[in-house]
A and B are shown apart, each in its own frame.
Chain A
């Protein structure tokens, strides 16, 4: 009996904020599964060259005679195309692995850059207030009043095609959400005593902003990161499908789907269905994780 109480006391003693957060998060079975699925997808994306059965863009490994094979067909060399092949004879399993790598890479990279810019701008708005704040938030409001696809369309029409251009477009679409979120929570945090204390210690602006204010604005920011990353991946796929996003040398999932679209009317459904399923699973899993994070991190919902 006494041993058991001791153990419980021990368990309580080592409970860190992170562990509490993790156990709250894992309470939802759907979110746990979504997190696991996303982990698998991220793993595939990172290690695509080692996981994929073939390199779909190495001409030596692709045989045009294998083109348009339905799922489950066996190739001449005995390999099985589990998801079929596309118009150029590429194995779709491999193409999807490589496509995930590009889609996730572009989505996450644009998210990181947008977050850095948005945080800096949002913090500055909240910390300095006054005219700086009015100007920044007016720009944010104006930009958010335009739909993301229109903003991206304007930029890509002006800039042209390319990985760097689509990154610029995705960052421009996202930064304002980060700026608004960070400003809102920084305004609340700024009036708290620890910031006054830091000011009394005559710490520099930069130190107060990044070491004191920013870490305390993290919870809502984490939720925005998930939502915006999912959004960026979907937007990149859409733009690439329209033929104004990534160039054909960077075959993301959107481009794979676009390639399959032309074979759709002749019933060769697998070429655009399976890349689409991969895209869908990625986006849904990120959104589900985001939903659960919002519930866990929202102080109003805490028991």
Chain B
């Protein structure tokens, strides 16, 4: 077990190292670091001072060393546009993105599991076919276009909901959140649905596949034979057993929601990390881009590591297979 964790930790460190090298090469070798890391409005003395600070007058391998040492200390440079440390900017936007991602996850679970179970209990019924057709659409529809259509329909034509922005926020556990105000909730609804559509389709498929498998198990037949009501069989015996794969996959998919929020946030002008990185890419605010990429990759590496470890605890075969390889 310890060996397994050490192996995986080493693998994760390699991924982070490769990633930092890639970003470093991208910024410092492919492009001109003077253009990218120094404010274009700076004068000659300022440029020379920053170059010395960043160690740009040194050989490449020493520069990479500087970059790594600074990054480890949480110093990923200052934003040209905002003049604040890039890391701080991103941390400020995190609550907005996480709020959106969690809301989307909730929608996917609350709607997806019942729909999937219904489709799995009566696979031939027209309602089930409609649900499955809907889930195919959910997989195929490009989410940015659906977002635009939602704005057009609900905000522009019907005028029911606001089109963009985050609305009123209130402090909650030290973060600014919008789901506690009516205005904030209205602003949250469309982007959250938009972000959840893909995961919703996924949950429907998982729940349907699970239901179709579980329904033929002996313990379900036994529960029915005992004379339990249909609602109790479905809600207790069946639901408990299909939750395991659904919950596992959802845990894995949370990172995906954060990554895909780049699209939703841009469409709905939601002030989170995703919108920040797209704006920074357009404005060539390289320090923010570098900081965002490093943070999100680190987040993914940690999620993957935790999932691997949890799996190996739950299923020893994973661990054994890895040891053999």
- Residues of A participating in the B interface, judged by any CB pair closer than 8 Å: 134, 138, 142, 145-147, 149-150, 153-154, 156-160, 230, 234, 237-238, 241-244, 254, 257, 260-261, 264-265, 267, 269, 272-273, 276, 279-280, 283-284, 287-288, 291
Contacts and interface: CB of A to CB of B under 8 A. Distances in A.
B300 A158 contact: no
Contact of B145 (A142, A153, A257, A291): A257
B27 interface: yes
Contact of B277 (A138, A153, A273): A153
Contacts of A145: 300, 304
A145 B306 CA distance: 13
A207 to B, nearest CB: 29
A149 B278 CA distance: 12
A287 B140 contact: yes
Contacts of A273: 149, 152
A150 to B, nearest CB: 4
Nearest to B153: A269
A264 B155 CA distance: 10
Q: Please indicate which of the listed interface residues A242, A269, A272 has the most CB atoms of chain B within 10 Å of its own CB.
A: A242
19 contacts: A146-B300, A150-B296, A153-B259, A154-B23, A157-B26, A157-B281, A158-B22, A158-B30, A230-B140, A234-B140, A234-B142, A237-B142, A242-B144, A243-B281, A279-B142, A280-B145, A284-B136, A287-B136, A287-B140
B15 A264 contact: no
B266 A242 contact: yes
Contacts of A153: 259, 262, 277, 293
B11 interface: yes
Contacts of B60: none
Given A149-B263, A242-B263, A265 B144 contact: no
Task: Report the 8 A-B pairs with minimum CB-CB distance, sorted nearest first.
Answer: A158-B26, A276-B145, A150-B259, A147-B259, A147-B256, A284-B140, A283-B140, A234-B142
Contact of B325 (A134, A142, A157, A264): A134
Nearest to A287: B140
Contacts of B22: 154, 158
A276 B278 contact: no
Nearest to B307: A145
Contacts of B9: none
Contact of B259 (A134, A149, A257): A149
Interface of B, helix, strand, loop or mixed by DSSP: helix
B43 to A, nearest CB: 27
Interface residues of B, number: 45
Contacts of B31: 160
Interface in B109-136: 136
A265 B140 contact: no
A241 B137 CA distance: 20
B23 A158 contact: yes
A279 B15 contact: no
B156 interface: yes
Contact of B260 (A149, A159, A264, A288): A149
A138 B281 contact: no
B7 to A, nearest CB: 11
B143 interface: yes
A280 to B, nearest CB: 6
B211 interface: no
Interface of B: 11, 15, 19, 22-23, 25-27, 30-31, 136-137, 139-145, 148-149, 151-152, 156-157, 163, 255-256, 259-260, 262-263, 266-267, 277-278, 281-282, 289, 293, 296-297, 300, 304, 325
Contacts of A264: 148, 151-152, 156
Contacts of B152: 264, 269, 273
Contact of A154 (B15, B148, B255, B297): B297
Contacts of A261: 148, 267
Contacts of A159: 26, 30
Nearest to B18: A142
A280 B11 contact: no
Nearest to B151: A264
A272 B142 contact: no
B297 A238 contact: no
Q: Please indicate which of the listed interface residues A238, A243, A254 has the most CB atoms of chain B within 10 Å of its own CB.
A: A238
Contacts of A242: 144, 262-263, 266, 278
Contacts of A158: 22-23, 25-27, 30
A234 to B, nearest CB: 5
Contact of B278 (A244, A279, A288): A244
Contacts of A260: 148
Nearest to A257: B145
B15 A142 contact: yes
A134 B321 CA distance: 12
Contacts of B144: 237-238, 241-242, 254, 257
B278 A138 contact: no
A287 B137 CA distance: 10
Contacts of A276: 142, 145, 148-149
Contacts of B256: 147
Contacts of B281: 156-157, 243-244
A241 B262 CA distance: 11
B252 to A, nearest CB: 9
B142 A149 contact: no
Nearest to A285: B140
Contacts of A134: 325
Contacts of B30: 158-159
